[in-house]
Structures are given as structure tokens and as C-alpha cells.
Amino acid sequence: MLIYTVRPGDTLADISRRYGVPPNRIAADNLLQNPSVLVPGQNLLINTNSVRYILPEGQTLFSISQEYDVPLEELIAANPDLNPLNLRPGQTVIIPLSQPAARRPILVNGYAYPSINTNALNCVLPFLTFLSPFSYTMTPQAELIPPDDSELIYRAQRSGVMPIMVVTNIFDEGFSTESLSGILASEELQERLISNILAELDEKRYYGVNMDIEYIAPEDREAYNSFLERLAVRLHEQSYILITALAPKISADQPGILYEAHDYAAQGRIADYVIIMTYEWGYTYVRHASDYQQVIKQTILVICGSEFWILLRITFAAAGKFT
């Protein structure tokens, strides 16, 4: 199994011939809605244990072994019909892919709109740890407005996946900085919000809550941290888990209302799991791989000094949430 990055001019037929995997298999494994349209930079899962390589002029088995990091003796054993001392351009060389070493398990979260395509959900449910229907919204009075989540909860439970309640500070058309500030300024409203969350968790048999709170006023940073601490205590008393969504930061003092109030150190200490929202970048512009690497480094530096889980989030569509 390998990940192939699409290059300009690539077609599914080209990739199929290169790796010896039928085009329809590649399309199905990657849930391609339009297999005739591939985007340069797109990553494709290739379910194969070997690569078919067409020899160019001047290439040797030794140089191939160096390029693909495959021991020369394994390369020779995989190609018993080839004479290593008499190779000709155009010959096909089978390059075995090494089997991955034992890895630590991962937890995978998938956000889903209630309108998700049934086939898409069926494809990913076997790989999920958590399914998070998107989303509860809150009013300035700390009342919760639920999504139509009953079917998603049922499907998750049938598949052995833990349904997670998602709470956002969306009000009217988008995330509301002002509504959240009003709640964080009032002990009464905070208590009402926590009580409403616990009531929904109990009624719908969620396993915990994901606080997807965004565009927090920088001056509310400490108030939000304190609220999360109160919420975590109440959740843990009833054996629920707390997940928080964090904006993708490449430095602790990264400016901008999306970033400043998200305290990696505090939330890493308070929450059971965090989700790093690199998908936020996809709404407005494209980032390079190095940017994502910087986010991972920042997360490890600040949060991962001890046993702590960062959730890998499955993404669907350009916006990143299941559709």
C-alpha cells in the first residue's frame, strides 16, 4: 500500500498501468466521484504490495534499490527473470514495497452533516473511532439548538463507533464572538450551558462532547480556559469525555482572532483529546505541506509532552466536513 501524489497530466489509466491496479479499484478506494478529473497535488491510496517500473536508459537495479529504499537482494528476488548484468531499456522491474512496521493505534474522528450521503458514510464508518454530527448551535442565552442527529447516532452505535456531541458558537449565519463573550461573562449562563450539554448527552447517549468554539475574542482566552475546566470536571464526574477543536497554530503567539484565544497548553491539559483544525485553511487558501508540518511540531512541542491523543480527522469534500 502506498500514497501516490497526482502530477500534471496524470490520468487514472496512467496510474493504473504504472502500479498494476485496476482503475475502478483506485477510484473505489479513493471515493472518486469523477475519476476522469484528477487534480495535481491530490493524494491517492494505491492498494498494492509492489510497483511496476519501466526501465529507462542507464538505470540499474542498484540505482533503483537506492531510489526506492529497497534492499538490492529483495529487488533481485522479486525479479527472477531479469539478468541484473544485462538490463535493457523498456524492461519491467517489480519493486516490492516493504511491509510497515508495527505502529501505534490511532483514533479517527469524522464530522458529519445530517444530510451526508449514505454510501459515503457506509464507506468510512468501519475506520472511525468517533462520529460527530455537526452541530449543536447556541443562542446568546446559552440554549442549545440540536441538529437532526438521531439517524447518525443510530448508525454510529450499530457500527461500534462512538457518537460525539458537537457544540459550536454558531449563531444566525456564523460563529459569533459576541454571543460567546456574553456567556463567558456570566456564571449563570455558563452553568446553564453546561447543564444543557449534560442533559443532551444523557438523553441521546452520546459518549462525550466536542467543543468546536471558534473566533473567540482574545480577551476571553482565560475565561474560555476556565469554562473548559469547569465543563471537564462535570463531564468526568459522569464518565463523559471532552474533546476540543484547536485552530492550526505555527507559534504560540500567532496573531488573528481565529488563533489567539486557543491556548494549546491549557486545552492539552484540560481536554481528553484535541482536534487540530487545519481544514480551516481550506476555506480560503491553499497551504504547503511545510505549513502542516509546522503545526504538528507546535502541537508536539506544547501538548505532547505526556501521553496525549491528537485525533486524526477524516475529511470529505473541499470544506473538510462530511457532506
CA-to-CA dists, residue 47 to 1, 24, 129, angstroms: 5, 12, 22
Q: What is the pLDDT of residues 290-301, one digit of tens each?
A: 676 777 777 777
Mean pLDDT estimate for the chain: 86
C-beta neighbour count of 9 within 10 angstroms:
8
Residue 276: strand pairing partners: 246
Please report, as a single letter, which amino acid is at residue 276: I
Q: What is the pLDDT of residue 102?
A: 64
Q: What is the pLDDT of residues 121-162, one digit of tens each?
A: 988 899 899 999 999 999 999 999 999 999 999 999 999 999
Share of the chain above pLDDT 90, in %: 49
Using pLDDT thresholds of 50, 70 and 90, give the confidence band for residue 55.
confident
Q: What is the pLDDT of residue 161?
A: 96
Q: What is the pLDDT of residue 258?
A: 87
Using pLDDT thresholds of 50, 70 and 90, give the confidence band for residue 59.
confident
Catalytic pick among 143, 173, 214, 307? 214
Number of residues assigned to the chain: 323
Using pLDDT thresholds of 50, 70 and 90, give the confidence band for residue 307.
very low
Please report, as a single letter, which amino acid is at residue 92: T
d(C-alpha 201, C-alpha 131), whole Å: 14
**Average pLDDT of the segment spanning 272-288:** 72
**Average pLDDT of the segment spanning 300-322:** 50
Q: Which of 83-92, 201-210, 276-285 has the lowest mean pLDDT?
A: 276-285
Model-wide pTM > 0.75? no
Answer whether residue 67 shows pLDDT above 90: no
- Using N-to-C axis directions, what is the helix angle for 187-204 and 177-184, rounded to 10°? 100
Answer whether residue 313 shows pLDDT above 50: no
Q: What is the pLDDT of residue 323?
A: 35
Task: Enumerate domains of the chain plus CATH numbers.
Answer: 2-96 (3.10.350.10), 108-314 (3.20.20.80)
Answer whether residue 66 shows pLDDT above 90: no
3-state secondary structure the chain: CEEEECCCCCCHHHHHHHHCCCHHHHHHHCCCCCCCCCCCCCEEEECCCEEEEECCCCCCHHHHHHHHCCCHHHHHHCCCCCCCCCCCCCCEEEEECCCCCCCCCCCEEEEECCCCCHHHHHHHHHHCCEEEECCEEECCCCCEECCCCHHHHHHHHHCCCEECEEEECEECCEECHHHHHHHHCCHHHHHHHHHHHHHHHHHHCCCEEEEECCCCCHHHHHHHHHHHHHHHHHHHHCCCEEEEEECCCCCCCCCCCCCCCCCHHHHHHHCCEEEECHHHHHHCCCCCHHHHHHHHHHHHHHCCCCCCEECEEECECCCECEC
Which stretch, 4-13, 119-128, 224-233, has highest mean pLDDT? Answer: 224-233
Annotation marks residue 214 as catalytic:
yes
Answer whether residue 202 shows pLDDT above 80: yes
**Average pLDDT of the segment spanning 315-322:** 36
